[in-house]
Amino acid sequence: MDNIKIFSLQEANRLLPELTRLLQSLQALRMEVLAKQVEIDALELVTDPEPSAMTMPPLLQDKLLEYDGMLERFRTGLEEIQDTGAVLKELESGLIDFYSVIDSQIGYLCWKMGEPEIRFWHEIGKGFSHRQTLPVNQQDPNNS
């Protein structure tokens, strides 16, 4: 198992521009993947029900190769987020958590894309709906 990174509020806030870029890229790529799936589904409807590489139309083969490349780029983007130590909770809304020590306990700093800085946290095992404002002693005086 990989080591879990424990973030200070300052460390996590410094990652937000990079995470925003990665999230936006993954969100756009997700839309492309979904569109490509529709194209492939439509082509499969008009081809042999059991196509092999020998009978598969070249256009369908090309679409499948493009799709595989998109999925690989998507996996790479997810790995880039994981490599930062952040925990992607939900791609569509851009919800990310960071392990941290809050009030002497391990919890998650909680950030949603579009928020200018991290201002919330929640206990591990609880989610976004249980997030609460960071305690005053935890807040970054440089970001207030």
3-state secondary structure of 47: coil
52-56, 93-97, 135-139: least confident range: 52-56
| Mean local confidence (pLDDT), 21-31 | 97
Rounded to 5°, angle at Cα 133 from 104 and 23: 100
Q: What predicted TM-score, i.e. pTM, was given to this entire model?
A: 0.82
- Residue 49's pLDDT is 60
Burial of 139 (0-12, 13-18, 19+ CB in 10 A): middle
The per-residue pLDDT for 72 is 97
Where does the pLDDT of residue 144 fall: very low under 50, low under 70, confident under 90, or very high at 90 and above? Answer: very low
Q: Is the pLDDT of residue 141 over 70?
A: no
Domain boundaries, the chain: 13-84
Q: For the residues 45-51, what does the mean pLDDT come to?
A: 68
Q: Tens digit of pLDDT for each residue in 75-115? A: 999 999 999 999 999 999 999 999 999 988 999 999 999 99
Res. 2 pLDDT band, cuts 50 70 90: low
Is the pLDDT at 143 greater than 60? The verdict is no
